[in-house]
Amino acid sequence: MGRLNSLIPTMAKRALITGITGQDGSYLTELLIRKGYEVHGLVRRTSAVQRNRLDALDLTPAQREKQLFLHYGDLSESSGLSRLAHRTQPDEVYHLGSQSHVQVSFESPKYTFEINASGTVRLLECFRDCNKPIRFYHASTCEMYGRPEESPQNEKTPFRPVSPYACSKTASHFLTACYRESYGLFACNGILFNHESPRRGENFVTRKIARGVAAIKRGLQKKLTLGSLETRKDWGYAPEYVEAMWRMLQHDKPDDYVIATGEAHRVGEFVEMAFQIVGLDWREFVETDPAEVRPAEVGALVGDASKAERVLGWRAQTRFQGLVKLMVEAELQALSR
Ligand code: NAP
Ligand code: GDD
Protein backbone atom coordinates (compact mmCIF):
# COMPACT_ATOMS: atom_id res chain seq x y z
CA MET A 1 0.00 0.00 0.00
CA GLY A 2 1.34 3.47 -0.85
CA ARG A 3 1.54 6.27 1.64
CA LEU A 4 -1.44 8.49 2.38
CA ASN A 5 -1.14 12.27 2.37
CA SER A 6 2.57 12.02 2.93
CA LEU A 7 5.37 14.36 1.97
CA ILE A 8 5.89 14.57 -1.76
CA PRO A 9 9.45 14.21 -2.95
CA THR A 10 10.60 15.77 -6.21
CA MET A 11 11.12 13.16 -8.93
CA ALA A 12 10.53 12.42 -12.58
CA LYS A 13 7.11 12.88 -14.21
CA ARG A 14 4.17 13.03 -11.83
CA ALA A 15 0.75 11.52 -12.55
CA LEU A 16 -2.53 11.93 -10.69
CA ILE A 17 -5.05 9.10 -11.09
CA THR A 18 -8.70 9.22 -10.05
CA GLY A 19 -10.19 5.72 -9.82
CA ILE A 20 -6.80 4.27 -8.84
CA THR A 21 -8.48 1.48 -6.85
CA GLY A 22 -10.41 0.24 -9.92
CA GLN A 23 -9.42 -2.28 -12.58
CA ASP A 24 -7.85 0.26 -14.95
CA GLY A 25 -6.35 2.36 -12.16
CA SER A 26 -4.42 -0.64 -10.89
CA TYR A 27 -2.94 -1.56 -14.30
CA LEU A 28 -2.19 2.08 -15.13
CA THR A 29 -0.36 2.49 -11.80
CA GLU A 30 1.88 -0.47 -12.59
CA LEU A 31 2.56 0.85 -16.09
CA LEU A 32 3.44 4.38 -14.96
CA ILE A 33 5.59 3.21 -12.08
CA ARG A 34 7.51 0.93 -14.45
CA LYS A 35 8.09 4.01 -16.60
CA GLY A 36 9.56 5.87 -13.63
CA TYR A 37 6.59 8.12 -12.80
CA GLU A 38 5.66 9.27 -9.35
CA VAL A 39 2.00 8.25 -9.04
CA HIS A 40 -0.60 9.98 -6.87
CA GLY A 41 -4.01 8.38 -6.47
CA LEU A 42 -7.33 9.67 -5.19
CA VAL A 43 -8.97 7.16 -2.84
CA ARG A 44 -12.31 7.33 -1.08
CA ARG A 45 -12.55 6.62 2.61
CA THR A 46 -15.04 3.90 1.67
CA SER A 47 -12.54 2.31 -0.68
CA ALA A 48 -11.25 -0.12 1.93
CA VAL A 49 -12.80 -3.20 0.33
CA GLN A 50 -11.27 -2.38 -3.03
CA ARG A 51 -7.74 -1.81 -1.82
CA ASN A 52 -6.95 -5.45 -2.55
CA ARG A 53 -6.12 -4.43 -6.14
CA LEU A 54 -3.56 -1.91 -4.90
CA ASP A 55 -2.19 -4.34 -2.33
CA ALA A 56 -1.62 -6.90 -5.10
CA LEU A 57 0.17 -4.54 -7.51
CA ASP A 58 3.26 -5.98 -9.15
CA LEU A 59 5.68 -3.48 -7.53
CA THR A 60 8.87 -3.76 -5.54
CA PRO A 61 8.83 -2.50 -1.92
CA ALA A 62 11.05 0.41 -3.06
CA GLN A 63 8.63 1.38 -5.83
CA ARG A 64 5.72 1.34 -3.37
CA GLU A 65 7.65 3.43 -0.90
CA LYS A 66 9.05 6.02 -3.30
CA GLN A 67 6.67 6.21 -6.24
CA LEU A 68 3.12 5.60 -4.99
CA PHE A 69 1.17 8.11 -2.89
CA LEU A 70 -2.53 7.91 -1.99
CA HIS A 71 -4.75 10.81 -0.98
CA TYR A 72 -8.25 10.77 0.48
CA GLY A 73 -10.92 12.62 -1.46
CA ASP A 74 -14.07 12.20 -3.50
CA LEU A 75 -15.27 13.38 -6.90
CA SER A 76 -18.31 14.88 -5.17
CA GLU A 77 -16.19 17.48 -3.34
CA SER A 78 -14.55 20.38 -5.20
CA SER A 79 -12.44 21.77 -2.39
CA GLY A 80 -10.67 18.46 -1.76
CA LEU A 81 -9.96 18.03 -5.48
CA SER A 82 -8.60 21.51 -5.75
CA ARG A 83 -6.32 21.00 -2.72
CA LEU A 84 -5.13 17.73 -4.21
CA ALA A 85 -4.36 19.34 -7.57
CA HIS A 86 -2.46 22.11 -5.82
CA ARG A 87 -0.52 19.76 -3.57
CA THR A 88 0.44 17.19 -6.20
CA GLN A 89 1.10 19.55 -9.15
CA PRO A 90 0.77 16.69 -11.68
CA ASP A 91 2.18 16.65 -15.20
CA GLU A 92 -0.50 14.18 -16.31
CA VAL A 93 -4.00 13.55 -14.94
CA TYR A 94 -5.80 10.29 -15.67
CA HIS A 95 -9.46 10.73 -14.76
CA LEU A 96 -10.80 7.18 -14.43
CA GLY A 97 -12.99 7.54 -11.33
CA SER A 98 -16.72 7.05 -11.89
CA GLN A 99 -19.85 5.17 -10.93
CA SER A 100 -19.05 2.76 -13.73
CA HIS A 101 -21.85 0.19 -13.57
CA VAL A 102 -24.53 0.60 -16.25
CA GLN A 103 -27.24 -1.43 -14.44
CA VAL A 104 -26.61 0.49 -11.19
CA SER A 105 -27.07 3.76 -13.09
CA PHE A 106 -30.71 2.87 -13.74
CA GLU A 107 -31.20 2.52 -9.95
CA SER A 108 -29.14 5.61 -9.04
CA PRO A 109 -29.30 7.98 -12.02
CA LYS A 110 -28.83 11.22 -10.11
CA TYR A 111 -25.88 9.93 -8.12
CA THR A 112 -24.32 8.58 -11.33
CA PHE A 113 -24.67 11.95 -13.05
CA GLU A 114 -23.34 13.76 -10.01
CA ILE A 115 -20.16 11.68 -9.77
CA ASN A 116 -19.53 11.17 -13.46
CA ALA A 117 -20.55 14.43 -15.13
CA SER A 118 -20.31 16.96 -12.28
CA GLY A 119 -17.24 15.14 -10.93
CA THR A 120 -15.49 15.67 -14.26
CA VAL A 121 -16.28 19.37 -14.39
CA ARG A 122 -15.06 19.75 -10.79
CA LEU A 123 -11.77 18.17 -11.74
CA LEU A 124 -11.41 20.11 -14.99
CA GLU A 125 -11.97 23.35 -13.09
CA CYS A 126 -8.94 22.56 -10.91
CA PHE A 127 -6.73 22.66 -14.01
CA ARG A 128 -8.40 25.38 -16.07
CA ASP A 129 -6.20 28.22 -14.91
CA CYS A 130 -3.27 26.13 -13.85
CA ASN A 131 0.03 27.77 -14.75
CA LYS A 132 1.65 24.40 -15.43
CA PRO A 133 0.92 22.79 -18.85
CA ILE A 134 -0.80 19.63 -17.65
CA ARG A 135 -2.17 16.78 -19.80
CA PHE A 136 -5.61 15.39 -19.00
CA TYR A 137 -7.08 12.00 -19.94
CA HIS A 138 -10.83 11.36 -19.61
CA ALA A 139 -12.30 7.85 -19.56
CA SER A 140 -15.05 8.03 -22.18
CA THR A 141 -16.88 4.90 -23.26
CA CYS A 142 -18.46 3.09 -26.20
CA GLU A 143 -21.71 3.12 -24.18
CA MET A 144 -22.13 6.67 -25.54
CA TYR A 145 -22.92 5.14 -28.97
CA GLY A 146 -25.95 3.40 -27.43
CA ARG A 147 -27.90 2.16 -30.42
CA PRO A 148 -25.67 3.33 -33.24
CA GLU A 149 -26.73 3.76 -36.83
CA GLU A 150 -23.40 2.60 -38.23
CA SER A 151 -21.03 -0.24 -37.57
CA PRO A 152 -18.21 -0.33 -36.65
CA GLN A 153 -18.18 2.88 -34.61
CA ASN A 154 -15.37 5.43 -34.94
CA GLU A 155 -14.59 8.89 -33.53
CA LYS A 156 -17.14 10.49 -35.88
CA THR A 157 -20.08 8.17 -35.15
CA PRO A 158 -22.89 10.15 -33.42
CA PHE A 159 -23.65 9.32 -29.80
CA ARG A 160 -27.12 7.95 -28.93
CA PRO A 161 -26.80 7.01 -25.24
CA VAL A 162 -29.52 4.79 -23.73
CA SER A 163 -28.62 4.62 -20.02
CA PRO A 164 -28.10 7.22 -17.29
CA TYR A 165 -24.47 6.05 -17.14
CA ALA A 166 -23.99 6.65 -20.85
CA CYS A 167 -25.70 10.07 -20.64
CA SER A 168 -23.40 11.09 -17.78
CA LYS A 169 -20.33 9.98 -19.73
CA THR A 170 -21.52 11.79 -22.86
CA ALA A 171 -21.72 14.97 -20.79
CA SER A 172 -18.23 14.49 -19.36
CA HIS A 173 -16.86 13.61 -22.81
CA PHE A 174 -18.11 16.90 -24.24
CA LEU A 175 -16.99 18.83 -21.15
CA THR A 176 -13.47 17.50 -21.67
CA ALA A 177 -13.55 18.52 -25.35
CA CYS A 178 -14.96 21.90 -24.33
CA TYR A 179 -12.04 22.62 -21.95
CA ARG A 180 -9.65 21.64 -24.74
CA GLU A 181 -11.30 23.95 -27.26
CA SER A 182 -12.12 26.84 -24.91
CA TYR A 183 -9.07 26.99 -22.66
CA GLY A 184 -6.41 25.17 -24.66
CA LEU A 185 -6.15 22.39 -22.08
CA PHE A 186 -4.27 19.35 -23.41
CA ALA A 187 -7.26 17.05 -22.90
CA CYS A 188 -8.00 13.69 -24.55
CA ASN A 189 -11.05 11.43 -24.52
CA GLY A 190 -10.36 7.71 -24.78
CA ILE A 191 -13.54 6.11 -26.16
CA LEU A 192 -12.77 2.69 -24.79
CA PHE A 193 -14.79 -0.38 -25.63
CA ASN A 194 -15.18 -3.07 -22.96
CA HIS A 195 -11.92 -4.29 -21.51
CA GLU A 196 -11.64 -7.05 -18.98
CA SER A 197 -9.12 -8.90 -16.81
CA PRO A 198 -8.88 -11.02 -13.68
CA ARG A 199 -9.04 -7.65 -11.82
CA ARG A 200 -12.45 -6.77 -13.30
CA GLY A 201 -15.13 -5.92 -10.70
CA GLU A 202 -17.09 -9.02 -9.69
CA ASN A 203 -20.44 -7.58 -10.78
CA PHE A 204 -19.41 -7.17 -14.44
CA VAL A 205 -20.44 -10.04 -16.67
CA THR A 206 -17.07 -11.48 -17.78
CA ARG A 207 -15.72 -11.77 -14.23
CA LYS A 208 -19.05 -13.08 -12.97
CA ILE A 209 -18.97 -15.80 -15.64
CA ALA A 210 -15.30 -16.68 -15.06
CA ARG A 211 -15.80 -16.91 -11.28
CA GLY A 212 -19.02 -18.89 -11.67
CA VAL A 213 -17.48 -21.39 -14.10
CA ALA A 214 -14.45 -21.97 -11.85
CA ALA A 215 -16.65 -22.44 -8.77
CA ILE A 216 -18.95 -24.86 -10.64
CA LYS A 217 -15.96 -26.83 -11.91
CA ARG A 218 -14.65 -27.16 -8.35
CA GLY A 219 -18.10 -28.21 -7.05
CA LEU A 220 -18.58 -25.03 -4.98
CA GLN A 221 -21.55 -23.63 -6.94
CA LYS A 222 -24.42 -25.30 -8.80
CA LYS A 223 -25.86 -22.60 -11.06
CA LEU A 224 -24.83 -19.39 -12.79
CA THR A 225 -27.58 -16.77 -13.05
CA LEU A 226 -27.29 -14.15 -15.80
CA GLY A 227 -29.36 -11.59 -17.71
CA SER A 228 -29.36 -11.15 -21.48
CA LEU A 229 -27.07 -13.55 -23.34
CA GLU A 230 -27.78 -11.90 -26.67
CA THR A 231 -25.94 -8.55 -26.31
CA ARG A 232 -22.80 -8.33 -28.42
CA LYS A 233 -19.71 -6.70 -26.95
CA ASP A 234 -16.24 -5.82 -28.21
CA TRP A 235 -14.08 -7.19 -25.38
CA GLY A 236 -10.35 -6.49 -25.04
CA TYR A 237 -7.69 -6.97 -22.36
CA ALA A 238 -7.37 -4.15 -19.81
CA PRO A 239 -3.53 -3.93 -19.47
CA GLU A 240 -3.31 -3.18 -23.21
CA TYR A 241 -5.98 -0.48 -22.94
CA VAL A 242 -4.18 1.49 -20.21
CA GLU A 243 -1.13 1.59 -22.52
CA ALA A 244 -3.38 3.39 -25.05
CA MET A 245 -4.33 5.98 -22.40
CA TRP A 246 -0.69 6.73 -21.76
CA ARG A 247 0.10 6.98 -25.47
CA MET A 248 -2.68 9.55 -25.96
CA LEU A 249 -1.01 11.85 -23.43
CA GLN A 250 2.46 11.41 -25.00
CA HIS A 251 1.33 12.57 -28.45
CA ASP A 252 2.10 16.16 -29.47
CA LYS A 253 -1.60 16.99 -30.07
CA PRO A 254 -4.61 16.33 -27.82
CA ASP A 255 -7.41 14.36 -29.50
CA ASP A 256 -10.11 11.69 -29.03
CA TYR A 257 -9.54 8.04 -29.90
CA VAL A 258 -11.58 4.84 -30.13
CA ILE A 259 -9.83 1.91 -28.46
CA ALA A 260 -11.24 -1.51 -29.35
CA THR A 261 -10.45 -4.93 -30.80
CA GLY A 262 -12.82 -4.61 -33.78
CA GLU A 263 -14.50 -7.96 -32.98
CA ALA A 264 -17.87 -8.40 -31.27
CA HIS A 265 -19.15 -11.51 -29.51
CA ARG A 266 -22.42 -12.40 -27.76
CA VAL A 267 -22.47 -12.72 -23.98
CA GLY A 268 -23.71 -16.27 -24.69
CA GLU A 269 -20.50 -17.01 -26.64
CA PHE A 270 -18.41 -15.92 -23.65
CA VAL A 271 -20.46 -18.29 -21.47
CA GLU A 272 -20.17 -21.20 -23.88
CA MET A 273 -16.43 -20.81 -24.31
CA ALA A 274 -15.77 -20.40 -20.57
CA PHE A 275 -17.61 -23.68 -19.82
CA GLN A 276 -15.88 -25.39 -22.74
CA ILE A 277 -12.47 -24.50 -21.26
CA VAL A 278 -13.28 -26.53 -18.13
CA GLY A 279 -14.94 -29.34 -20.11
CA LEU A 280 -18.57 -28.62 -19.13
CA ASP A 281 -21.76 -27.96 -21.12
CA TRP A 282 -23.10 -24.49 -20.23
CA ARG A 283 -26.75 -25.52 -20.82
CA GLU A 284 -26.69 -27.63 -17.65
CA PHE A 285 -25.70 -24.73 -15.41
CA VAL A 286 -26.90 -21.36 -16.73
CA GLU A 287 -30.19 -19.78 -15.65
CA THR A 288 -31.50 -16.39 -16.69
CA ASP A 289 -33.03 -13.87 -14.30
CA PRO A 290 -35.14 -10.97 -15.60
CA ALA A 291 -33.76 -8.86 -12.70
CA GLU A 292 -30.41 -8.83 -14.52
CA VAL A 293 -31.99 -7.56 -17.75
CA ARG A 294 -31.62 -3.80 -18.23
CA PRO A 295 -34.51 -1.39 -18.93
CA ALA A 296 -32.68 -0.47 -22.16
CA GLU A 297 -29.87 -2.43 -23.76
CA VAL A 298 -27.27 -1.04 -26.17
CA GLY A 299 -27.14 -2.18 -29.80
CA ALA A 300 -24.28 -4.19 -31.28
CA LEU A 301 -21.18 -2.20 -30.33
CA VAL A 302 -17.96 -2.85 -32.20
CA GLY A 303 -15.12 -0.38 -32.44
CA ASP A 304 -12.97 0.85 -35.30
CA ALA A 305 -9.62 1.67 -33.66
CA SER A 306 -7.80 2.45 -36.91
CA LYS A 307 -7.09 6.06 -35.88
CA ALA A 308 -5.36 4.85 -32.70
CA GLU A 309 -3.32 2.41 -34.78
CA ARG A 310 -2.36 5.05 -37.32
CA VAL A 311 -1.58 7.91 -34.93
CA LEU A 312 -0.57 6.20 -31.69
CA GLY A 313 0.76 2.90 -33.02
CA TRP A 314 -1.68 1.09 -30.71
CA ARG A 315 -3.41 -2.18 -31.60
CA ALA A 316 -5.25 -4.76 -29.44
CA GLN A 317 -3.21 -7.95 -29.08
CA THR A 318 -5.34 -10.25 -26.93
CA ARG A 319 -8.35 -11.66 -28.77
CA PHE A 320 -11.62 -13.10 -27.52
CA GLN A 321 -10.60 -16.72 -27.01
CA GLY A 322 -7.35 -15.78 -25.25
CA LEU A 323 -9.22 -13.38 -22.98
CA VAL A 324 -11.82 -15.96 -21.90
CA LYS A 325 -9.07 -18.49 -21.25
CA LEU A 326 -6.91 -16.19 -19.15
CA MET A 327 -9.88 -15.09 -17.05
CA VAL A 328 -11.14 -18.62 -16.34
CA GLU A 329 -7.63 -19.87 -15.57
CA ALA A 330 -7.04 -16.99 -13.15
CA GLU A 331 -10.21 -17.93 -11.24
CA LEU A 332 -9.26 -21.62 -11.12
CA GLN A 333 -5.84 -20.66 -9.77
CA ALA A 334 -7.38 -18.34 -7.20
CA LEU A 335 -9.56 -21.19 -5.94
CA SER A 336 -6.56 -23.51 -5.74
CA ARG A 337 -4.77 -20.96 -3.56
P1 NAP B 1 -13.97 0.42 -11.84
O2 NAP B 1 -13.13 -0.81 -11.65
O3 NAP B 1 -15.41 0.33 -11.55
O4 NAP B 1 -13.32 1.59 -10.98
C5 NAP B 1 -13.99 2.79 -10.75
C6 NAP B 1 -13.12 3.66 -9.87
O7 NAP B 1 -13.81 4.90 -9.61
C8 NAP B 1 -12.81 3.04 -8.49
O9 NAP B 1 -11.49 3.32 -8.15
C10 NAP B 1 -13.77 3.78 -7.57
O11 NAP B 1 -13.34 3.86 -6.23
C12 NAP B 1 -13.73 5.17 -8.22
N13 NAP B 1 -14.84 6.00 -7.77
C14 NAP B 1 -16.16 5.70 -7.81
N15 NAP B 1 -16.89 6.71 -7.27
C16 NAP B 1 -16.01 7.66 -6.87
C17 NAP B 1 -16.13 8.90 -6.22
N18 NAP B 1 -17.32 9.37 -5.84
N19 NAP B 1 -15.01 9.61 -5.95
C20 NAP B 1 -13.78 9.12 -6.29
N21 NAP B 1 -13.60 7.94 -6.91
C22 NAP B 1 -14.70 7.21 -7.19
O23 NAP B 1 -13.82 0.95 -13.35
P24 NAP B 1 -12.77 0.52 -14.48
O25 NAP B 1 -13.30 -0.68 -15.18
O26 NAP B 1 -11.41 0.54 -13.92
O27 NAP B 1 -12.98 1.73 -15.51
C28 NAP B 1 -12.24 2.95 -15.36
C29 NAP B 1 -13.01 4.09 -16.03
O30 NAP B 1 -13.18 3.80 -17.41
C31 NAP B 1 -14.40 4.33 -15.47
O32 NAP B 1 -14.65 5.71 -15.52
C33 NAP B 1 -15.33 3.61 -16.45
O34 NAP B 1 -16.59 4.21 -16.46
C35 NAP B 1 -14.56 3.82 -17.75
N36 NAP B 1 -14.71 2.76 -18.76
C37 NAP B 1 -14.48 1.48 -18.44
C38 NAP B 1 -14.57 0.51 -19.43
C39 NAP B 1 -14.31 -0.94 -19.12
O40 NAP B 1 -14.66 -1.78 -19.96
N41 NAP B 1 -13.67 -1.26 -18.00
C42 NAP B 1 -14.88 0.87 -20.74
C43 NAP B 1 -15.07 2.22 -21.03
C44 NAP B 1 -14.97 3.17 -20.03
P45 NAP B 1 -13.79 2.78 -5.10
O46 NAP B 1 -12.77 1.69 -5.17
O47 NAP B 1 -13.73 3.57 -3.88
O48 NAP B 1 -15.17 2.29 -5.45
N1 GDD C 1 -23.26 -7.08 -15.18
C2 GDD C 1 -23.96 -8.05 -15.74
N3 GDD C 1 -24.41 -9.07 -14.95
N4 GDD C 1 -24.19 -8.00 -17.07
C5 GDD C 1 -24.89 -9.02 -17.63
C6 GDD C 1 -25.37 -10.09 -16.87
C7 GDD C 1 -25.13 -10.12 -15.47
O8 GDD C 1 -25.53 -11.02 -14.75
N9 GDD C 1 -26.01 -10.95 -17.72
C10 GDD C 1 -25.92 -10.43 -18.94
N11 GDD C 1 -25.26 -9.26 -18.90
C12 GDD C 1 -25.00 -8.38 -20.06
C13 GDD C 1 -25.40 -6.93 -19.85
O14 GDD C 1 -26.79 -6.76 -20.09
C15 GDD C 1 -24.52 -6.24 -20.88
O16 GDD C 1 -25.14 -6.25 -22.15
C17 GDD C 1 -23.28 -7.13 -20.97
O18 GDD C 1 -23.61 -8.34 -20.28
C19 GDD C 1 -22.04 -6.52 -20.34
O20 GDD C 1 -22.39 -6.04 -19.05
P21 GDD C 1 -21.28 -5.50 -18.02
O22 GDD C 1 -20.21 -6.52 -17.87
O23 GDD C 1 -22.00 -5.04 -16.80
O24 GDD C 1 -20.60 -4.31 -18.81
P25 GDD C 1 -21.22 -3.06 -19.57
O26 GDD C 1 -20.85 -3.20 -21.01
O27 GDD C 1 -22.62 -2.83 -19.26
O28 GDD C 1 -20.40 -1.85 -18.93
C29 GDD C 1 -18.96 -1.92 -18.84
O30 GDD C 1 -18.39 -1.57 -20.08
C31 GDD C 1 -18.68 -0.22 -20.52
C32 GDD C 1 -18.11 -0.06 -21.92
O33 GDD C 1 -19.00 -0.71 -22.78
C34 GDD C 1 -18.50 -0.96 -17.74
O35 GDD C 1 -17.14 -1.15 -17.52
C36 GDD C 1 -18.72 0.49 -18.14
O37 GDD C 1 -18.10 1.34 -17.17
C38 GDD C 1 -18.09 0.74 -19.51
O39 GDD C 1 -18.29 2.05 -19.94
- The pLDDT assigned to 47 comes to 53
Residues with CB under 6 A from ligand 2: 100, 102-103, 141-143, 193-194, 203-205, 208, 226-228, 231, 233, 267, 292, 294, 297
Q: Are residues 249 and 327 in the same domain?
A: no
Rounded CA-CA distance 291/318 in Å is: 32
Q: How far is the CA of 330 from the centre of ligand 2 (A)?
A: 20
Residue type, 318: T
Judge whether 7 lies within some domain: no
Judge whether 280 lies within some domain: yes
Protein residue with least CA distance to atom 28, ligand 2: 102
- The pLDDT assigned to 5 comes to 43
Judge whether 329 lies within some domain: yes
Rounded CA-CA distance 324/65 in Å is: 35
Tally of domains within the chain = 2
Judge whether 311 lies within some domain: no
Q: 150: domain range?
A: 13-196+237-259
Does the Cβ of 100 fall within 6 Å of ligand 1? Answer: yes
Q: Are residues 171 and 62 in the same domain?
A: yes
Q: What is the pTM of this model?
A: 0.96
Ligand 1 atom nearest the C-alpha of 18 is: 21
Does the Cβ of 199 fall within 6 Å of ligand 1? Answer: no
Instruction: Indicate which residues carry an active-site annotation.
Output: 141, 143, 165
pLDDT in tens, 76-107: 999 999 999 999 999 999 999 999 999 999 99
pLDDT in tens, 231-265: 999 999 999 999 999 999 999 999 999 999 999 99
Q: Are residues 227 and 241 in the same domain?
A: no
- The pLDDT assigned to 9 comes to 46
Does the Cβ of 18 fall within 6 Å of ligand 1? Answer: yes
Quote the mean pLDDT of the chain. Answer: 94
CATH number at residue 210: 3.90.25.10
Q: How far is the CA of 204 from the centre of ligand 2 (A)?
A: 5
Q: Are residues 276 and 249 in the same domain?
A: no
pLDDT in tens, 50-74: 577 888 898 999 999 889 999 999 9
Ligand 2 atom nearest the C-alpha of 207 is: 22
Packing angle of the helix pair 320-336, 205-217 (nearest 10 deg)? 50
- The pLDDT assigned to 2 comes to 45
Rounded CA-CA distance 38/171 in Å is: 30
Q: Are residues 166 and 18 in the same domain?
A: yes
pLDDT in tens, 283-307: 999 999 998 899 999 998 999 999 9
Q: How far is the CA of 201 from the centre of ligand 1 (A)?
A: 9
- The pLDDT assigned to 48 comes to 54
Judge whether 119 lies within some domain: yes
Q: Are residues 180 and 296 in the same domain?
A: no
pLDDT in tens, 19-47: 999 999 999 999 999 999 999 999 998 75
Percentage of the chain lying above the pLDDT 90 cut = 88
Judge whether 310 lies within some domain: no
Q: Are residues 78 and 175 in the same domain?
A: yes
pLDDT at 155 over 80: yes
CATH number at residue 54: 3.40.50.720
Protein residue with least CA distance to atom 44, ligand 1: 141
Judge whether 307 lies within some domain: no
Q: How far is the CA of 22 from the centre of ligand 1 (A)?
A: 5
- The pLDDT assigned to 157 comes to 98
pLDDT in tens, 182-199: 999 999 999 999 999 999
Q: Are residues 214 and 331 in the same domain?
A: yes
pLDDT band for position 213 (50/70/90)? Answer: very high
**Lowest pLDDT segment from 121-135, 149-163, 164-178:** 121-135
pLDDT at 1 over 50: no
- Cβ contacts of 248 within 8 Å, gap of 6 or more: 137, 188, 190, 254, 255, 257, 312
Q: Are residues 108 and 131 in the same domain?
A: yes
User: In angstroms, what CA-CA distances link 82 with 6, 132, 173?
Assistant: 17, 14, 21
Q: Are residues 49 and 134 in the same domain?
A: yes
- The pLDDT assigned to 87 comes to 95
pLDDT at 153 over 60: yes
pLDDT at 7 over 70: no
Q: How far is the CA of 194 from the centre of ligand 2 (A)?
A: 8
Ligand 2 atom nearest the C-alpha of 166 is: 39
* Coil/strand/helix, residue 137: strand
Judge whether 6 lies within some domain: no
Residue type, 265: H
Q: Are residues 86 and 168 in the same domain?
A: yes
- The pLDDT assigned to 6 comes to 43
Packing angle of the helix pair 267-277, 205-217 (nearest 10 deg)? 30
Protein residue with least CA distance to atom 37, ligand 2: 100
